[in-house]
Amino acid sequence: METIGFIGTGVMGASIVKHLLSSGYKVNVYNRTKSKTDELVDLGAVWKETPKSVAEASELIFTMVGFPEDVKEVYYGENGIFNGVQPDSILVDLTTSKPSLAEEIYQTAKEKGVSSLDAPVSGGDLGARNGTVTTMVGGDEAAFEKVKPVFMTFSGTLELQGPAGSGQHTKMANQIMIAGTMTGLTELLVYAKAAGLNLEKVLKTVGGGSAANWSLQNYGPRILKEDYSAGFFVKHYIKDLGIALAEAEKLGIHLPATENAKRLYDQLKEDGHADDGTQALIKLWWEN
């Protein structure tokens, strides 16, 4: 696969494109806001005017956009991928989206003689920058094996989880776990500060024991620096938790801790922090 298309060059997408370019791939790029591709074009990527034109010029097309409705538009819109895709291409959606939409894209791809994989990633801006994201894949094994070398240019952990939709279901499980670690990290800091402890020492100490986790290690120091820039947007995390809870309802299960995490993040959004990073949850306590 010499020519790759990449649609959606936001916080994580831009870093992934850089890994593809540095690995020697030709990359065609499209983003709704063209200026977000300027640096990538300077590095050798080729700008295309629409998702359709990306698909017409690429053998492997990655998408990484914000919301399921964006995914739908990028694939099914008038200037979408399915109106330009070439035979035997492989489509890979890195967006965290609905399992049902992943299944729909898989079926449409099949009808058009192409393959598709749902492959949401976890690891935030740091993981994307370092090329160590966790990539969770759903789809056919043959397509997965073809794309595997490309996945490995930006993935630290990579696994085929099962048929179409399985990557998205795995990402939901991941986001459910993060709901617990982010609320735990936040309340840990709220409690430690109220008790008059040295917060840096607390993070260092509990991070060396059984309370250690990715959120604490990566977001704890950012909170202490009052760095609320988005490695992962609050608005996108609310979307993910909404999908997870809707899927849980379909499965007939109740997830009260995840429901509470979503309620807290909804409050954060209502307070005007939708474009902050998920570590901004602490603002519900420390804003003033």
Q: Quick count: other Cβ atoms within 10 Å of Cβ 5?
A: 29
Q: What is the pLDDT of residues 195-215, one digit of tens each?
A: 999 999 999 999 999 999 999
Sign of the dihedral defined by the CA atoms of residues 62, 74, 245, 183, in that order? positive
Question: What pLDDT, on a 0 to 100 scale, did the predictor assign at position 1?
Answer: 63
Q: Are 178 and 241 in contact (CB under 8 A)?
A: no
Q: What is the pLDDT of residues 171-187, one digit of tens each?
A: 999 999 999 999 999 99
Alpha-carbon span 265 to 42, nearest angstrom: 37
Q: What is the pLDDT of residues 242-288, one digit of tens each?
A: 999 999 999 999 999 999 999 999 999 999 999 999 999 999 999 75
Query: For residue 28, what pLDDT band results from cuts at 50, 70 and 90?
Result: very high
Q: Are 260 and 229 in contact (CB under 8 A)?
A: no
Task: Compute CA distances 218 → 4, 246, 257, whole Å.
Answer: 31, 28, 22
| Residue in 220, 213, 217, 229 with CA at minimum distance from that of residue 193 | 220
Residue with tokens 């982010």: 182
Q: Are 27 and 21 in contact (CB under 8 A)?
A: yes
What token pair was written down for 201? 């020492």
Structural Rg of the chain based on CA atoms: 19
Mean pLDDT within 107-117: 98
Query: For residue 49, what pLDDT band results from cuts at 50, 70 and 90?
Result: very high
Question: What pLDDT, on a 0 to 100 scale, did the predictor assign at position 10?
Answer: 92
DSSP state of 5: E
Residue 26 bears catalytic tag: no
**What is the pLDDT of the chain when averaged over all its residues?**
97
Question: What pLDDT, on a 0 to 100 scale, did the predictor assign at position 124?
Answer: 85
Question: What pLDDT, on a 0 to 100 scale, did the predictor assign at position 288?
Answer: 57
Query: For residue 11, what pLDDT band results from cuts at 50, 70 and 90?
Result: confident
What token pair was written down for 223? 């909170």
Q: Torsion angle, CA of 249/254/257/259, rounded to 10 degrees?
A: 30
Instruction: Decide: pTM greater than 0.75.
Output: yes
Q: Are 54 and 30 in contact (CB under 8 A)?
A: yes
Task: Compute CA distances 130 → 168, 179, 251, whole Å.
Answer: 23, 24, 36
Question: What pLDDT, on a 0 to 100 scale, did the predictor assign at position 2?
Answer: 79
What token pair was written down for 286? 């420390």
Indicate which residue of 52, 171, 239, 283 is catalytic. Answer: 171
Residue with tokens 């909404």: 242
149's CB contacts (< 8 A; 6+ apart) are none
Q: Are 95 and 39 in contact (CB under 8 A)?
A: no
46-60 residues labelled b (16+ CB within 10 A) or e (exposed): bebebbbbbbbbbbb
What token pair was written down for 84? 């330009």
Alpha-carbon span 169 to 186, nearest angstrom: 26
Q: What is the pLDDT of residues 145-167, one digit of tens each?
A: 999 999 999 999 999 999 999 99
Residue type, 33: T
Alpha-carbon span 119 to 136, nearest angstrom: 5
